[in-house]
Amino acid sequence: MSEGRPNHATAQDLAALVDARLDRQRFQDQHWTGTFWEYLDICLGNPGVVRNAYQRLHDAVMAHGCEKYKLFKKDCVRYHFFSDPFDHGADGIFGLDFALMQLVDFLRSAAEGYGTDKRVLLLHGPVGSSKSTIARLLKKGIEHYSRTPEGALYSFSWLLDESCEVSAVGPGSAEAARTHEFKCPMHEEPLVLIPREARADVMARLNAAYKPRHHGGKLRLQGEPDPFCRKVLEDLMTFYQGDWRRVMNHVKVRRIVLSEKDRVGIGTFQPKDEKNQDSTELTGDINYRKIAQYGSDSDPRAFNFDGELNIANRGICEFIEILKLDVAFLYDLLGATQEHTIKPKKFAQTYIDEVIVGHTNEPEYKRLQSNEMMEAFRDRTIKIDVPYNIRLGDEVKIYLKDFGPERIRAIHIAPHTLEVAAMWAVLTRLEDPKKAGLSLLQKMKLYDGKSIPGFTEDSVRELKEEAPREGMSGISPRYIQDKISNTLVGHQAVEERGINPFMVINELESGLSHHSLISDENTRKRYRELLAVVKEEYEDIIKGEVQRAISADEDAIRRLCANYIENVRAYTQKERVKNRYTGRDDEPDDRLMRAIEEKIDIPESRKDDFRQEIMNYIGALSLDGKKFEYNTNARLYRALELKLFEDQRDTIKLKNLVSSVVDDETQAKIDVVKQRLIKNFGYNDASATDVLNYVASIFARGDTKKRE
């Protein structure tokens, strides 16, 4: 027994933890039930509960807010909904803001009732461009929204006898039995039970009180009850001789929560091989076990309204690889989109209220365009292109989500490893620039918001406009993720407990020879050439980091800056400088000033302008009550770093690193630099040593290429 006590106590502790996480009041709110009359009171107090699926999905997106910014000189909006706030960013979308803006515009137009609610939303793009993720987010988002007070929606059940019949409580009784509950199979809005003749007046009252936050659309109540509910309603109306109020006493209204797992309001359809495709998967099928009970296969009580389009009513239905569906299925979608109706076997057209989202790849879409028989389907489709990222920063975020320090702890990922992989992926998606003197690498930097002399925001916008299909081809993020994974589990990574950019580059290149989506040898050759470009850029990056680590002596760089500013002030004011050693007044040290200015390519002809700019900058700071520091002006700071690196490089004897013998004094200085790399740039001891050795080998072979 003594052994059991700790386990019992632990179990109670865990139960308490679980109980603390549960919100009992929220559970009760989400499972509210009441009469039809209580529901009418809810509608009058909050008319938004009657919104249709498009209005609800649009509001679900907007409920999480957005931020506006400029991209390529265009107004852009980033919707926080697509950062996946429901699952801690697990399905967050990066860098597709233009495509997502189009999607939200589509939803808003549909919410307003402008006609896009009668179209299929088709997400089109290359493999791995987040089409499925967007659809998954829409489903997760509307499910989450239905759990909130703002997103509450309701359906109903019928209270009848145990056989689902309308029967009197007793002989001669004027009341029908209400002993058993039968849910509306398509989760319909309770107000569809209001006779059509009275709906206009009821909706006018609700719309008068309805104040939508995110759109201007009116509440609309369309369609008739599904065949099952229609039969029950008619039987009850007959029993009560047309007394609708008494019929409504058999209605139990209940709040519903949309859920893909419970098949309530969210459906997903995935195509199978043509022999096994059956339209009943979309619109339901006969329940043969109940035919004997109800006597006919055309009795709606003997029918399962459980097709994907049935159960997705009031929410969203996703069609995976929609253009791989059999033609007969696509015909079903024509009515489902345009008329919002489906045709279950042996029953009349049945109204549905749902968002239909499909996604497809380029080959299937081209086949659709060339198929004249599918003109009607094309006409009912709104296509939104979902390209790959063409901004480096956004592409890096994709890989940080899977391989960031929160996920990968056992193996050290050297700085720039993910950036290098992302850089190559983005370069494969870009078209060669038509502007003379602009490389593909520079174009990528411009897209990423970097500044390059001679290019303005207008230039970047022109570059984007001259290549409208950029991002619709190239290397998929999945390929990059697979190769990074391979590198992480490789023998070298496990042995050294770390990976670096060169290991990933080698893995990316080795996979090209058997890449399943590259059949063109010229494309394969181009991708290899771009890997060489990326490798060269990485070398420049680490040279710059080593330079900054060497010149990171703040006191030394502050002294150099003060010396430079003192000479510039004297030069611009035509004064002399007091020599601190001799005490004499000397001319400003032009040699020192030029040595610094040349590091950032200030030509002799522009030195006066640059020096005056620096003095004006210092004066403007002073007027604002701010103090000029050595790192206040980024351009001057870079020049000071490079000058200090040049002065200290020989004293550190970096080239000696590649030799087997290093004296104690040099080793001590190298250790200081290594610690700066670890502290300032995120290296560990092994990766910092590797970078220093590699940069030393570059200088040893006399590589003096300047960084861009």
> Residue 595: inside a domain, yes or no?
yes
* Cα–Cα dist 546/548, whole Å: 5
Q: Are residues 518 and 555 in the same domain?
A: no
Domain boundary among 88, 120, 145: 145
Rounded to an integer, the average pLDDT of 54-83 is 92
DSSP 259: B
SS3 state of residue 286: strand
Q: Are residues 518 and 578 in the same domain?
A: no
Task: Provide the CB-side half-sphere exposure for 703 (13 A, CA).
Answer: 13
Going by C-beta distance under 8 Å and a sequence separation of 6 or more, which residues neighbour residue 128?
388, 476, 477, 478, 479
* Cα–Cα dist 524/515, whole Å: 9
Dig out the tokens for 438 from the structure: 């602009």
Domain boundary among 118, 145, 172: 145
Contact yes or no for 443/463 (Cβ under 8 A)? yes
Give the mean pLDDT of the chain: 88
Rounded to an integer, the average pLDDT of 464-490 is 93
Q: Are residues 411 and 493 in the same domain?
A: yes
Whether the per-residue pLDDT at 650 is higher than 80: the answer is: no
How open is the CA angle 497-503-507, to the nearest 5 degrees?
Answer: 120
Dig out the tokens for 47 from the structure: 């008319």
CB pairs under 8 A, 24+ apart, for 671-678?
A: 673/546, 673/549, 673/550, 674/549, 676/549, 676/552, 677/545, 677/546, 677/549
> Residue 474: inside a domain, yes or no?
yes
* Cα–Cα dist 65/60, whole Å: 10
> Residue 137: inside a domain, yes or no?
yes
Q: Are residues 417 and 472 in the same domain?
A: yes
> Residue 361: inside a domain, yes or no?
no
pLDDT digits (tens, 9 = 90+) for 121-179: 999 999 999 999 999 999 999 999 999 999 999 999 999 999 999 999 988 889 999 99
Q: Are residues 510 and 580 in the same domain?
A: no
* Cα–Cα dist 341/525, whole Å: 52
pTM, two decimal places: 0.85
Rounded to an integer, the average pLDDT of 313-329 is 88
Rounded to an integer, the average pLDDT of 371-385 is 87
Rounded to an integer, the average pLDDT of 349-370 is 91
> Residue 495: inside a domain, yes or no?
yes
3-state helix, strand, coil in the chain (%, to 5): 55, 10, 35
* Cα–Cα dist 363/313, whole Å: 31
Q: Are residues 494 and 560 in the same domain?
A: no
Q: Are residues 436 and 518 in the same domain?
A: yes
Q: Are residues 504 and 565 in the same domain?
A: no
How open is the CA angle 507-513-514, to the nearest 5 degrees?
Answer: 95
> Residue 412: inside a domain, yes or no?
yes
pLDDT digits (tens, 9 = 90+) for 11-48: 777 777 777 777 788 888 899 999 999 999 999 999 99
> Residue 562: inside a domain, yes or no?
yes
> Which residue, 426, 437, 363, is CA-closest to 393?
426
More confident residue, 537 or 15: 537
Please report which confidence band the pLDDT of residue 703 belongs to, taking 50, 70 and 90 as the band edges.
very low
Dig out the tokens for 569 from the structure: 């002030």
* Cα–Cα dist 223/196, whole Å: 9
Domain boundary among 596, 615, 636: 636
- One-character DSSP codes across 641-684: HHHHHHHHHHHHTGGGGGSS---HHHHHHHHHHHHHHHHHH---
Q: Are residues 455 and 518 in the same domain?
A: yes
Q: Are residues 443 and 497 in the same domain?
A: yes
Q: Are residues 406 and 493 in the same domain?
A: yes
Q: How many domains does the chain have?
A: 3
The per-residue pLDDT for 706 is 43
Contact yes or no for 460/443 (Cβ under 8 A)? no
* Cα–Cα dist 488/531, whole Å: 19
Q: Where are the beta strands (DSSP E) in 113-164?
A: 120-124, 153-160
> Which residue, 320, 296, 351, is CA-closest to 123?
320
Q: How do strand 66-71 and strand 341-342 relate by DSSP bridges?
A: unpaired
pLDDT digits (tens, 9 = 90+) for 171-196: 888 999 999 999 999 999 999 999 99
> Residue 621: inside a domain, yes or no?
yes
Do you know the residue count of the chain? 708
Please report which confidence band the pLDDT of residue 705 belongs to, taking 50, 70 and 90 as the band edges.
very low
φ and ψ of 625, to 5 deg:
75, 20
> Which residue range forms the structural domain that includes residue 581?
551-636
Q: Are residues 509 and 611 in the same domain?
A: no
The per-residue pLDDT for 657 is 54
